Structure 1
Amino acid sequence: MRLSRVLEPIQIGSMTLRNRIMMGSMHVGFEKQEDGVERLAAFYAERARGEVGLIVTGGAAVRPEGGMGDKYCNVYLDQHITPLMLITDAVHQAGGKIALQLFHSGRYAHKEATGLDPVAPSPLQAPINRWKPRELQADEIEMTIQAFADGAVRAKKAGFDAVEIMGSEGYLINQFLSPVTNKREDEWGGDFQRRARFGIEVAKRVRQAVGSDFPVVFRMSGLDLIPESTTMEETVQFAAMLQEAGMDALNVGIGWHESQVPTIAMMVPRGAYVWVAQQIKQGVSIPVIASNRINDLRQAEAILEDDRCDLVSMARPLLADPLIVRKSSEGRFDEVNTCIACNQACLDHIFDGKIASCLVNPEVGREKEWALAPATKLKKVAVVGAGPAGLEAARVLAERGHQVVVLEKQHQIGGQLNYARQVPGKQEFNETLRYYRTQLSRLRVEIRLGIQATTAMLEEEGFDEVVVATGVIPRRPEIPGIDLPHVVSYAQVFEKQAKVGKRVAIVGAGGIACDLSHLLVQDEPISPQAAQYLMEYRILDAKSMHRMQQSGRKVFMLRRGKHVGTGLGKTTRWAVLANLKRHGVEMMTQIDYREITPQGVVITQGDAEQLIAADTVVIAAGATSNDQLFHELNGRIPVHVIGGAKEAGELDAKRAILEGSAIGRAI
């Protein structure tokens, strides 16, 4: 496929962009490090070299109480201008354009980070913040509006090509607009016009401050996904008011951080919210930007060709592959390291107060020290195991010039990624495997499948070094009856070596058990095309379709501990567990196992004993490291161990790929 529309230049105010792909704003937290601004500069410059049309920074606080603390990017003092110039200089030298996002988090601000009480239109506590905000007074509202304008002027002085006003995702401007969070009865609250006033005044004041020739983008909420919040009719009206206020483009955000609807997780279909941007585009004449779960430029091309928006915002896809635009423009789609929307190293890190990275691209945040350099001494290296750790090690080793041979006992690459990609809603893992197949082929890495590597073989072939990435072995807990014929391991189920009955008890309730439960309750899906046909012709209604897409199994997850889904990320765990509950999966915690019988699993919970009736009992109670080869080789050939073979525990592709990337740079 050849791209055309996505590569067309577009005008935003006085600024011409080389193409219609924008890197959306992300908080990455690099500023917390000693050389944080330099790291940010290197990070953004790498994306500029990848030829993205416009980069938008993470939010820069316009007021101290509305930011994330002194260590993050701020724009409320003149002294903030000089550090920001390091970023704009780096991006411009790389041939890119960059906008600063003007940010105030309102009631989402954390007092432990700012040292100040959070503020909001009304003193209503956010469910995701333990600090209750105080209500802004009229003079403080005026001061905050002016702070946005002053921040925009500082951004212009720092060399930014544009600014974006953050009015989405449940932050301060969005809080003023929504009747859920704005209960005021003065000129800043009440009916829609008064609730909209704060955002419109910010837009007008920023426009007045920077002049007519400096581009201003407004990131507005297209869909709050909060009950009783702003209506779509009001949203379209607000968009028209923003155009009238002098905005040059509208970037359409989806959902609040407290929303109970997944918007960016892997389970969300690609492009599921483009229709919202399309609704807004019909009400304005300035460019409209669509976002959320668009991770392929071919998908962006189709959206733009259908005239559903004017630009496409990609945030996490540019974490996963900073060169996604350049590669795609050259037709090298298979070489793109596609974002799989796992959130494990980006959003989960940020919400845990860590520095953001990327599961499939651990170079994020390490651009300065991890730039790939050719090996000083070329070696013949064996990588034993073709799971995520081994694949990444092989890729990096080969990129640096080593001769690499991958030895895998299974008949396909991927290791336990082949389990994950079977789970409904996790098909994006297919993209990661496609990426590695393409890269290893491009780099002429020899892959031998169906080979059980031995010490003798590795010595005989004369490998200079060996990387052991042999993964894990499912753990078998000591429970009476575990050897009965209806007891199987999670690996046997994923590898289709075991027939599973209609009543299933899973011993274990971690991440792998959650994946397994999804697979077992939804293992007979109807294709989307077939579902559309059946419902369009009223062969099946929505209720019947839902029933048809279920396997009919009853699944129980059992755990000695207190919590289900440990190991799942903070931003997705709640959605995964809610989905399982909707499908009737029962989760029983703080239990003890008495025995497994032909009828099921006998447990005790408190003082009560009960039988969990089951045709099949699946053991998903963790794993142990498969490190025998490492110990055999140690002292005979220089050997390294990574991934699950180094440390078992919950299956962790993030750690596996990180360790593979690190060892590939170390040899």
Structure 2
Amino acid sequence: MSKDPLLQPYQLKHLTLRNRIMTTSHEPAYPEDGMPKARYAAYHAERAKAGVALTMTAGSAAVSKDSPPVFNNILAYKDEVVPWIRSLTDQVHEHGAAVMIQLTHLGRRTGWNKGDWLPSVSSSRHREPAHRAFPKLAEDWDIARIISDFADAAERMKDGGMDGIELQVYGHLMDQFWSPLTNDLDGPYGGQTLESRMKFPMDVLQAVRDRVGEKFIVGLRYTADEAQKGGITPQEGLEISKRLAGSGMVDFLNVIRGRIHTDPAMTDVIPVQGMKSAPHLDFAGEVKKATGMPTFHAARIPDVATARHAVAAGLLDMVGMTRAHMADPHVVKKIIEGREDEIRPCVGATYCLDRIYQAGDALCIHNAATGRELSMPHEIAPAKASKKIVIVGAGPAGLEAARVAAERGHHVTVFEAAAEPGGQVRLTARNPRRAEMIGIIDWRMAQCAARDVEFRFSTWAEAADVTALNPDVVIVATGGLPNTELFETRGEASHVVSAWDIISGDVKPAANVLIYDESGDHPGLMAAEIAANSGARVEVMTPDRTFAPDIMAMNLVPYMRALQDKDVTFTVTRRLLEVARSGNKLTASIGTDYSGHVYEAGYDQVVLNYGTLPLDDLYFDLKEQSSNRGEIEQGAIIAGRPQKILCNPQGQFQLFRIGDAVSARNTHAAVYDALRLMKDI
């Protein structure tokens, strides 16, 4: 028996959990037609197979028709969900893990123009800023109907074989009732006293318990401190916790601290990179101490050491490592096997959640197999025969290609022009808040070192250098260089510098700076932050109707906190047309896509962020010597089949280019390019 605190079993009512690690409820937005079909089940089964004790599905499953899905939620109000739940639970149980599901009514945290176009309903008259729908104030018959809907949904989950359910009471309808900030009702459910504010959640809990019986596990994930003036205080939160414990109807408490009604508030609940790890862990421990209840918690617990401390110190009974399991679903397996140093790190990029909140599906920034378990492997199978693989470029695309090729058993040589690996990720990590991004590179370098990948740094590879190694396969992952052209000008813009120049420190910010952001991704605001911190007056300008759209909700928050107290302005729907020098100043000609309006403005420095152009000379130098002339069969790459194009039989090797050497995209795209190509070579 292991003495590791994380590997000790835990008895939750009648259920024995095999260790202390769980994934908390989250909606990866994988349902199809509101149902958790094959992709959804495969995602959770992968984590169960690798040893997690409890996987909490959905974030959250909707119990009512007037709680339409805004994150592609599971529709728990439909009877047809039961067989899909049964299939999911069977697959998780097959691997020895427990599985539960989170149920909710979103209340005002949704929109009226989705689903069946019913008005959103809440205990508040005010809309939630994040979702913008003005709700209907709940009537008595709404409340009675929704209570019944919760009970119906709970029964469906029990019929589907779930080990239990978790009721969602933070930010959603039940929390809207019990928070003094969001209860505008009169009468028995009104906001006058804690007892009246708690009546709706307690009535739901009673109805659920009456329906599913005493043996079925029922818990709550709830905010015990709203961390906002006028909201639930820590003292009131502890009182709520004690009342839940004393009700006899609750089997576990899953503790949250904060609110999620705005992007900044949600980012404090679910911190991103550069923010404190485990910021609410000690408070969760206070709840456990005050109630004696089985206590769960998750909020940026990305590493095994912190998780182990949480359990060893008696702060938690079950520790949630949800984003960590999106980065590496085999966390528990690697702990058991003594391979903690091989765990792929969660770097806190929160690409996963930001995609969900922008109506996408959850993807990990540097594990392209997450969410693609049906087609992409988390563990790489060996190849039937070893080949010589030459890779040019040691950014995320090149390093992922090298890692996968080496795990396949191939002999791998990597050329890199710089003295260090990392490409644009290393540039990104120069920002102290984003320093964790270097984990993407460090993990791959460690994996490559363990498999004897040969690196040739500070080497600008020419075609002859590549062919001299007599390769079977050549991968061009040379990335790109900043695009300093203006839109459709067919020539480089005069007198501008790139965002890379500012981020790298090669160019110092001037006094009055225009950041012209055509791409809307991180380099623009990274450069703006550097310039603002230097004391410059900064204007961030975009031709789009919103600025920095590719940074998305939660990652935008730290930038705004860094910029809004400085001399920074944001200008939208303006297009930079031309830059001319006027003495020691620059004159920018600025127009708009919406009309013929043009004006001029003066700056000391114009910084352009317009993506990259492929650094592809080597690829074209090698193209005619390759057996496939660089061609990729799209049908095969999409389906995950090997590349078999042979259009030049005299060619000496297969040739492929990946990542930004093809076109400017992002880190996830670069890693995915490499994985789905190399897994079959």
Which TM-score bucket, shorter chain as reference? 0.7 to 0.9
Residues 1:247 and 2:263 aligned together = no
For 2:548, the aligned partner's letter is G
Greater RCO, CA 8 A, separation 6+: 1
Alpha-carbon deviations, 1:599-627, whole Å to 9, x = none?
A: 4432356766443245xx64444321111
The aligned counterpart of 2:524 is 513
For 2:460, the aligned partner's letter is Q
Residues 1:468 and 2:476 aligned together = yes
Of residues 553, 556, 567, the one that matches 1:573 is 556
The aligned counterpart of 2:644 is none
Structure 1 residues 563 and 67: alpha-carbon distance in aligned structure 2, compared to 1, 3 A threshold: closer
Q: How much does 1:376 deviate?
A: 4.7
Of residues 326, 348, 355, the one that matches 2:361 is 355
Q: How much does 1:5 deviate?
A: 2.3
Structure 1 residues 3 and 350: alpha-carbon distance in aligned structure 2, compared to 1, 3 A threshold: farther
Measure, in 2, the Cα distance between the counterparts of 1:553 and 1:467.
42
Structure 1 residues 67 and 16: alpha-carbon distance in aligned structure 2, compared to 1, 3 A threshold: farther
Structure 1 residues 600 and 197: alpha-carbon distance in aligned structure 2, compared to 1, 3 A threshold: farther
Measure, in 1, the Cα distance between the counterparts of 2:35 and 2:598.
57
Structure 1 residues 598 and 4: alpha-carbon distance in aligned structure 2, compared to 1, 3 A threshold: farther
TM-score normalised by L of structure 2 = 0.85
Measure, in 2, the Cα distance between the counterparts of 1:84 and 1:99.
10
Q: How much does 1:552 deviate?
A: 4.5
For 1:447, the aligned partner's letter is F
Stretches of structure 2 that go unaligned for 5 or more consecutive residues are 591-596, 627-653
Contact 1:203 / 1:242 at 8 angstroms: preserved in 2?
A: no
Q: How much does 1:482 deviate?
A: 7.4
The aligned counterpart of 2:447 is 439
For 2:183, the aligned partner's letter is N
- Secondary structure in 2 aligned to 1:107? coil
Measure, in 1, the Cα distance between the counterparts of 2:530 and 2:503.
9
Q: How much does 1:578 deviate?
A: 4.4
Contact 1:334 / 1:435 at 8 angstroms: preserved in 2?
A: no
Measure, in 1, the Cα distance between the counterparts of 2:623 and 2:280.
53
Contact 1:334 / 1:434 at 8 angstroms: preserved in 2?
A: no
Measure, in 2, the Cα distance between the counterparts of 1:71 and 1:553.
43
Matches within 5 A, 1:217-228: 217-224=219-226, 228=230
Runs of 4+ in structure 1 deviating by more than 6 angstroms, as ranges, are 478-484
Q: How much does 1:507 deviate?
A: 4.6
Of residues 635, 658, 673, the one that matches 1:642 is 658
Alpha-carbon deviations, 1:351-377, whole Å to 9, x = none?
A: 333332211111122111223444355
For 1:576, the aligned partner's letter is Y
Structure 1 residues 32 and 610: alpha-carbon distance in aligned structure 2, compared to 1, 3 A threshold: same
The aligned counterpart of 1:408 is 416
- Secondary structure in 2 aligned to 1:109? coil
Measure, in 2, the Cα distance between the counterparts of 1:89 and 1:249.
23
Structure 1 residues 359 and 652: alpha-carbon distance in aligned structure 2, compared to 1, 3 A threshold: same
Structure 1 residues 63 and 591: alpha-carbon distance in aligned structure 2, compared to 1, 3 A threshold: closer
Q: How much does 1:499 deviate?
A: 5.0
Contact 1:48 / 1:96 at 8 angstroms: preserved in 2?
A: yes
Contact 1:63 / 1:76 at 8 angstroms: preserved in 2?
A: yes
- Secondary structure in 1 aligned to 2:224? strand
The aligned counterpart of 1:237 is 239
For 2:45, the aligned partner's letter is A
Q: How much does 1:567 deviate?
A: 2.3
Contact 1:591 / 1:603 at 8 angstroms: preserved in 2?
A: no
Residues 1:42 and 2:31 aligned together = no
The aligned counterpart of 1:655 is 669
Structure 1 residues 588 and 119: alpha-carbon distance in aligned structure 2, compared to 1, 3 A threshold: closer
Contact 1:504 / 1:553 at 8 angstroms: preserved in 2?
A: yes
Q: How much does 1:213 deviate?
A: 2.7
- Secondary structure in 2 aligned to 1:425? helix
The aligned counterpart of 1:339 is 346
Matches within 5 A, 1:345-384: 346-371=352-377, 372-384=380-392
Measure, in 1, the Cα distance between the counterparts of 2:423 and 2:583.
32
Contact 1:221 / 1:252 at 8 angstroms: preserved in 2?
A: yes
The aligned counterpart of 1:64 is 65
Structure 1 residues 557 and 87: alpha-carbon distance in aligned structure 2, compared to 1, 3 A threshold: same
The aligned counterpart of 1:536 is none
Of residues 182, 196, 199, the one that matches 1:197 is 199
Contact 2:404 / 2:675 at 8 angstroms: preserved in 1?
A: yes
Q: How much does 1:570 deviate?
A: 3.5
The aligned counterpart of 1:21 is 21
Q: How much does 1:156 deviate?
A: 2.2
The aligned counterpart of 1:173 is 174
For 1:47, the aligned partner's letter is R
Query: Greater shift after overlay, 146-155 or 361-370?
Result: 146-155
The aligned counterpart of 1:213 is 215
Of residues 141, 145, 155, the one that matches 2:157 is 155
Matches within 5 A, 1:389-408: 389-408=397-416
Structure 1 residues 71 and 625: alpha-carbon distance in aligned structure 2, compared to 1, 3 A threshold: closer
Contact 2:580 / 2:586 at 8 angstroms: preserved in 1?
A: yes
Alpha-carbon deviations, 1:632-655, whole Å to 9, x = none?
A: 11121221111111012xx51121
Matches within 5 A, 1:105-144: 105-115=106-116, 116-144=118-146
The aligned counterpart of 1:602 is 587
Measure, in 2, the Cα distance between the counterparts of 1:295 and 1:209.
37
- Secondary structure in 1 aligned to 2:391? strand
Measure, in 2, the Cα distance between the counterparts of 1:407 and 1:588.
42
The aligned counterpart of 1:630 is 619
Matches within 5 A, 1:71-82: 72-82=73-83
The aligned counterpart of 1:542 is none
Structure 1 residues 403 and 29: alpha-carbon distance in aligned structure 2, compared to 1, 3 A threshold: same
For 1:514, the aligned partner's letter is L
Residues 1:491 and 2:512 aligned together = no
Query: Greater shift after overlay, 452-461 or 308-317?
Result: 308-317
Of residues 605, 611, 617, the one that matches 2:602 is 611
Q: How much does 1:243 deviate?
A: 1.0
Structure 1 residues 472 and 82: alpha-carbon distance in aligned structure 2, compared to 1, 3 A threshold: same
Q: How much does 1:71 deviate?
A: 7.5
Of residues 302, 307, 310, the one that matches 2:314 is 307
Query: Greater shift after overlay, 428-437 or 410-419?
Result: 428-437
TM-score normalised by L of structure 1 = 0.87
The aligned counterpart of 1:528 is none
CA RMSD, Structure 1 to Structure 2 (Å): 2.9
The aligned counterpart of 1:256 is 260
Q: How much does 1:477 deviate?
A: 3.7
Contact 2:44 / 2:92 at 8 angstroms: preserved in 1?
A: yes
For 1:182, the aligned partner's letter is N
Structure 1 residues 325 and 507: alpha-carbon distance in aligned structure 2, compared to 1, 3 A threshold: same
Contact 2:274 / 2:436 at 8 angstroms: preserved in 1?
A: no
Contact 1:506 / 1:513 at 8 angstroms: preserved in 2?
A: yes
Measure, in 2, the Cα distance between the counterparts of 1:9 and 1:305.
13
Query: Greater shift after overlay, 105-114 or 412-421?
Result: 105-114
How many residues of Structure 1 are paired with residues of Structure 2 in the alignment? 630
Identity of aligned residues (%): 29
Residues 1:273 and 2:280 aligned together = yes
Q: How much does 1:418 deviate?
A: 0.4
Contact 1:226 / 1:256 at 8 angstroms: preserved in 2?
A: no
Measure, in 2, the Cα distance between the counterparts of 1:292 and 1:224.
15
The aligned counterpart of 1:541 is none
Query: Greater shift after overlay, 246-255 or 86-95?
Result: 246-255
Contact 1:65 / 1:109 at 8 angstroms: preserved in 2?
A: no
Of residues 291, 298, 301, the one that matches 1:284 is 291
